[in-house]
Chain A
Amino acid sequence: MAEKTSPYGFRYIGAKRRTKEDPRFVTGRGRYAADVQLPGMLHVAIVASPYPSARIKSIQAAEALALPGVRCVLTGAELCAAIDALYVGVDAPKVKRYPLADGLVRYAGEWVAAVVAETRAIAEDAVELIEVDYEPLPHLVDPEEAAKPGAVLVHPEHGTNVLYHRKFVWGAVDEAFDKADHRLAFRARWGRSATVPIETFVAVAQWDAGNEILDIWASIQMPKFPDQVARALRLPGNAVRVHFDIDVGGSYGVKRGIKHTLLVSYLAMKLKAPVRFLEDRLENMRGGDMHGPDRIFDMQVAFDHDGTLRAWKIKALDDVGAYAGRSPLQLGKPVSAICGPYRIPAVEYEPTSVMTHKTPQEAVRGFGQSPTNFAMELTIDRVARHLGMDRLELRRKNLIRKEEFPYRIPSGTTYDSGDYHTVLDKALKAADYAELVRRRDEARRAGRLAGIGVSTCLEPSGGNSSFEPLFNPKNETTTWMDSCLVRVDLNGAITGVFGTSSSGQGHQTLVSTVVGEVLERDPSGIRVIAADSLNALPSNSPVGSRMAIMLGGAAAGAARKIRDTLVRIGAHNLGLAVSAVTYRDGDVFDTLHPEKRLAWDQLVDVAHRKFHKMPPDLEPGLQAKFVWEVPTGGTLPTEDGQVQMYPCYSFETHVVYVEVDPDTGKPVLQRYVVGHDCGVMINPDIVHGMTYGGVAHGVGAALYEKFAFSEEGQLLSGTFMDYLIPSALEVPEISIVDHCTPSPLTTFGQKGSGEAGYLGGPAAIACAINDALDPIGTAIAETPMSHLGLWSLIRAARAKPKMKDAA
């Protein structure tokens, strides 16, 4: 395959090169947690609560235990006494959460008991034989009701259903509202969707009694996972070994799986046998605790006649379901980009996290940013409509200009760099915006509902999770490091080692490309492996679009140390000062007399075998580690809630053309263009792949996907018959236009891109649909924008006297 050279002047970074991982996946040679087969491995199936709220009166397991092949029925009473509660992201110590319910069940689908058997089929047979006697209790499904005083309590010990509430005021918000020419207010609703990877949660645990180590293979993507497992199991950290060298079959945030892992870990230790839980789809959708944000936004905005935005107020009520975990923090990340890409001098933000009797929420791609971007972009379009101003003109007027970077927003974060106007222009050009307008207007003349949507959105990246101390003053974490170890063996081959899981982000391609760049060696020969957690250097895992920045930076740092060592060995053996030699392609030579040189193999040979030729103060061998703190990290929030969060800000603009069938409400996306700037792309194929996937995910959230609950607290979309993920037939052809504004904070100018496509997609689709609905005088402000929902709006609008004519 021909390699295209890097557009940035690098040797490998940015060049179009085959990824390390794809051949393995495409040929079916990935190795997932479900591929781990251990002798004597036992299997788990779950007894789940049919009630959203109930007291467990008794559990009868005798019949199940009598079934041949059944080894154990574990209940919450035993497990909760033996382990500690799971981590809670905010200061709510009485919101206790364990893998199995003990006493109370708080959502339909919650795990009540686990059956362990020789096969999964037997375990399922046994589940049917277990009789649980429940006393149903009152339940709550409405988050606004749940937040009111006197509401039924999901966790009575906590005293309220509110997990977190604070009003942040950054800048002179009320004054801006008083002085502005115009004010607008509206409500937007982000429906409960998630990412639903093909691979459900899988966890395998084995207790190595000889070494007293718990071995874990799990499909996870989670910061501090080994530490949390050890703490909950009351084991020392060095007694838990998480094997990161397995592939995770998709995550996009949700693969936390801590309760799954604790369950099999406890069972493996108790039964002295390896235990696996491979969640099936029904268990996953209802009880896997992987639903995403479920939000009500009350937006207010103040602006002038000329379109200048003066301030906005964002109230966000998020229904996290029955337990906390890290989910309340998904209201925190948006603080890092609370004015979007716009110059808004004053912002008020009032997040409330509330519990209801629903499946718990987990991190979803963007960690709360996509819903917030959706609400912000609807606001911008409403302002334009209110003023009769072109939406693009309004955006251009308020977008931060490239010469204004670094740009400090009111909430205390500084955006590193950007050129939003150029990216917007490039996307519009690629979409042939004028032609789209012509096409839309022609469609409208023919009586069709056609619209164009444009969004301009940010992707905070680099994973400095300062929302943790911001949302929990007892948490003083300011360290968000990542690390890499690079080794050159005595045969001269290079290995990069990272210490976390990979769920498709391409860590192997990343590390090999960066190390190859620094050492000037072909990345295709560089092996990259994941160390297990006992061998690993510290990592904060691939969350928050951070690995290109953090693992990329760490790999470069380690490779530079290797290079420095090689230069010193070369200079020493050439009898020259370090400043008199040149490193090129792995060789070191006399800059003035290039024929005097030591080749790569000779340098490696000295390092590994010829201590007598080593400079006096170097350690033998060729290995280097590099651990680095996230750029701009290391500070705590101020009293008034100002904090530097993510270091890097990627930008995306989506241009979408949609037609909505007025008779059926069916929306069809006919043109889709993304303009994207994530700085220097280490591997363009990986960035584009993530962006395509992110757009598809956004199409799902915007139009199709919803974990709907009945008034009775039952999940109505618990299978793929009703939870509708867009297929290749619903996702339009996507064109991506790249732009590069390097970050001044990172090693090569890279920014993050793991959430690209998802962060601006639902916003643009909503703006397009609203443009289509505008001629009939109606609008939508909720996801998913279902066929039924759109038809209902259209019908209601047609039943009314024509607003446009009346006005």
Chain B
Amino acid sequence: MKAAIFEYARADSVAQACSLLAEYGADAKLIAGGQSLVPMMAMRLARPAWLIDVNRIAELKSSRRDGADWVTGAALRQADVERDGEAARAVPLIRQGLYWVGHVQTKNRGTVGGSLVQADPAAELPLVAQTLGARFVLRRTAGERTVSASEFFQAPMMTATEPDECLAEVRWPVWQGERIGSAFDELSIRHGDYAIVAACAQVEVDSAGRCVRAVLGIGGAAAVPVSVEAIARSLQGTQLEDAAIDAAVESIGQYLDPGSDVHATAEYRVHLARVLAARVLRQARANAAGGGRGSRA
């Protein structure tokens, strides 16, 4: 498990990282925390000719409110984001999702952007991004573009990021309102493993407890995380009562396309999606009713 030979360059700015990417393109990989890339390189499943280190780029570590968005720099450590109370108040699902990610040690190194561009279909942060409709700011020497989560996640381990682009920041929509609740839950065999299936939801209810807005997402059950908009929409106007939730999630399988492996069959994954979807919706409802935005699933 020794990586194939590669060259290393450290970028001090996004511009410099982009110019290195422009030069080496498909032969180069950006490295931040390295929690996925380094093991893949060690097993020679990834063999970039160039590694461009973005760990020291200050502009990739911003964390701020910007209009209707919460913005996280791509190179922010997962642990720092998880501990950031302001981020958790703005977008509770980020912390709720990060609870399930790896272990303290991996979160101390792993970055938000790294997890998102890795785009494992069972990973937590991509699921939160897909569910909330986060937007991704991609920079290259020639300029910048912003893509939606639904465009960003293209296939397992594949995103819309072009070889000469660097993910600079992620813009997470902040829901405004009094009664908003969210929840994240998953089944993983051990804590910290990639989920067999993960689910998250965020809902807003009015003063009568009626659902006025809802999103629901499922990870680990398709090539990319799935925002199950039809189900979420069908809950609008309900009281999010158990029967309504159970009825809504019954058909969830038709939005998924899970695979089978040594730990789970496709059938088990669909079942889990249904169970976990119902659980997160109930928990989100409870959190919304309590006015608590940040409580853990």
Contacts and interface: CB of A to CB of B under 8 A. Distances in A.
A787 B44 CA distance: 31
Interface in B239-297: 261-265, 268, 271-272, 275
A121 B43 CA distance: 12
Contact of A125 (B5, B268, B272): B5
A382 B189 CA distance: 28
Contacts of B191: 727, 729-730
B260 to A, nearest CB: 10
B190 A787 contact: no
A787 B263 contact: yes
B1 A281 contact: yes
Nearest to A730: B190
A477 interface: no
Nearest to B191: A729
Contacts of A721: 194
A564 interface: no
Contacts of B117: none
B98 to A, nearest CB: 16
Interface string A253-291: 000000000000000000000000000111000000000
A704 B191 CA distance: 12
Contacts of A666: 187
A664 B187 contact: yes
B196 interface: yes
Contacts of B85: none
Contacts of A717: 262
Interface residues of B, number: 25
B263 A788 contact: yes
B272 A664 contact: yes
Contacts of B261: 716
A280 B1 contact: yes
B193 interface: yes
Nearest to B3: A121
A788 B260 CA distance: 11
Size class of the contact patch on chain A: 20 to 34
A791 B263 contact: no
Interface string B194-209: 1010000000000000
Contacts of A121: 2-3, 5
Interface in A128-158: 128
B4 interface: yes
B262 A708 contact: yes
B268 A124 contact: no
A722 B265 CA distance: 15
A711 B129 CA distance: 38
A125 B265 CA distance: 37
A787 B262 CA distance: 11
Taking chain A's interface residues, is the majority helix, strand, or loop, or is none over half, making it mixed? loop
A788 B187 CA distance: 11
Q: Which of B1, B3, B191, B275 has the most CB of A within 10 A?
A: B1
Given A124-B2, A281-B1, A791-B268, A704 B262 contact: no
B156 interface: no
A121 B191 CA distance: 33
Interface in A721-773: 721-722, 724, 726-727, 729-730
A663 interface: yes
A327 to B, nearest CB: 24
Contacts, number: 59
B30 to A, nearest CB: 23
A120 interface: yes
Contact of B196 (A704, A708, A787): A787
Nearest to A119: B2
A478 to B, nearest CB: 45
Interface string A109-129: 000000000011100110010
Contacts of A730: 190-191
B262 A282 contact: no
A716 B262 contact: yes
A786 interface: yes
Interface in A658-696: 663-664, 666
B262 A722 contact: yes
Contacts of B187: 664, 666, 787
Nearest to B194: A721
B207 to A, nearest CB: 32
Interface string A784-799: 0011100110010000
Interface in B168-206: 187, 189-194, 196
Contacts of B194: 721
B42 to A, nearest CB: 8
B190 A726 contact: yes
Nearest to A703: B189
A8 to B, nearest CB: 40
Contacts of B262: 708, 716-717, 722
Nearest to A729: B191
B165 to A, nearest CB: 28
Interface string A223-266: 00000000000000000000000000000000000000000000
Contacts of B1: 124, 280-282
A795 B5 CA distance: 50
A719 B268 CA distance: 23
A704 B3 CA distance: 30
Contacts of B264: 787-788
B193 A724 contact: yes
Contacts of B2: 119-121, 124
Nearest to A127: B44
B190 A125 contact: no
B190 A664 contact: no
Contacts of A708: 262
A722 B263 contact: yes
A193 to B, nearest CB: 14
Nearest to B278: A663
B45 to A, nearest CB: 11
Nearest to B269: A788
Nearest to B272: A664
Contact of B190 (A716, A724, A788, A792): A724
Interface in B1-48: 1-5, 43-44
Contact of A729 (B4, B190, B275): B190
A788 B193 CA distance: 15
A787 B187 CA distance: 9
A724 B5 contact: no
Contacts of B268: 788, 791-792
B47 to A, nearest CB: 10
A366 B272 CA distance: 37
A721 B192 CA distance: 11
A43 to B, nearest CB: 10
Q: Which of B5, B103, B264, B268 has the most CB of A within 10 A?
A: B268
B192 A727 contact: yes
A767 B275 CA distance: 27
Nearest to B196: A787
B192 to A, nearest CB: 7
Contacts of B265: 788
Contact of A787 (B3, B5, B189, B275): B189
A724 B191 CA distance: 11
A480 B1 CA distance: 40
Q: Which of B5, B190, B192 has the most CB of A within 10 A?
A: B190
Given A121-B2, A125-B4, A282-B43, A791 B271 contact: yes
Given A121-B5, A280-B1, A663-B275, 19 more contacts: A120-B2, A125-B5, A664-B272, A664-B275, A716-B262, A719-B43, A721-B194, A724-B193, A726-B190, A727-B103, A727-B191, A729-B192, A730-B191, A786-B263, A787-B263, A787-B264, A788-B268, A791-B268, A791-B271
10 contacts: A120-B2, A282-B1, A664-B272, A708-B262, A719-B43, A722-B262, A724-B189, A724-B190, A788-B264, A788-B265
Pairs of residues from A and B, 6 with the lowest C-beta to C-beta distance, nearest first: A121-B2, A280-B1, A729-B191, A663-B275, A716-B262, A124-B2
Interface of B: 1-5, 43-44, 103, 187, 189-194, 196, 261-265, 268, 271-272, 275
